Amino acid sequence: EPEVTQTPSHQVTQMGQEVILRCVPISNHLYFYWYRQILGQKVEFLVSFYNNEISEKSEIFDDQFSVERPDGSNFTLKIRSTKLEDSAMYFCASSRTSNSEKLFFGSGTQLSVL
């Protein structure tokens, strides 16, 4: 089965630093998502992306966050100035359509902000 790949698997950063989390969605998918899971808590929706623009975002996704699809294959999540509470597992997902297909999840990037 095709896979969504995420790099790095672990990222440690200092508070206030910028981080970029990278994802390669499945090649024929058109919809892309970022979710996060703080340790012991539920999976939270951050943002969905289609046709090179954000289609939906949650209240978590504030001005510190941005997403980009720079080259037609990668899908990145940037956090400009990380806070301690940004420490979480970040999952990228993609789907072929926005409503009738399952989400294919990557294995996640564990972000630790010190």
Give the count of beta carbons closer than 10 Å to the beta carbon of residue 83.
11
Kindly state whether residue 106 participates in binding other proteins, applying the rule CB under 8 A: yes
Among 80, 98, 112, 114, binds other proteins (CB under 8 A): 98
Kindly state whether residue 105 participates in binding other proteins, applying the rule CB under 8 A: yes
Distances in Å between the alpha carbon of 42 and those of 38, 48, 54, 91?
A: 7, 18, 23, 12
Separation of alpha carbons 26 and 2, rounded Å:
6
For the bound state, the minimum distance from the C-beta of residue 99 to other proteins, rounded and expressed in Å, comes to 4
Q: Which chain residues interact with other proteins by CB under 8 A?
A: 33, 35, 41-45, 48, 50, 54-57, 91, 98-100, 102-103, 105-108
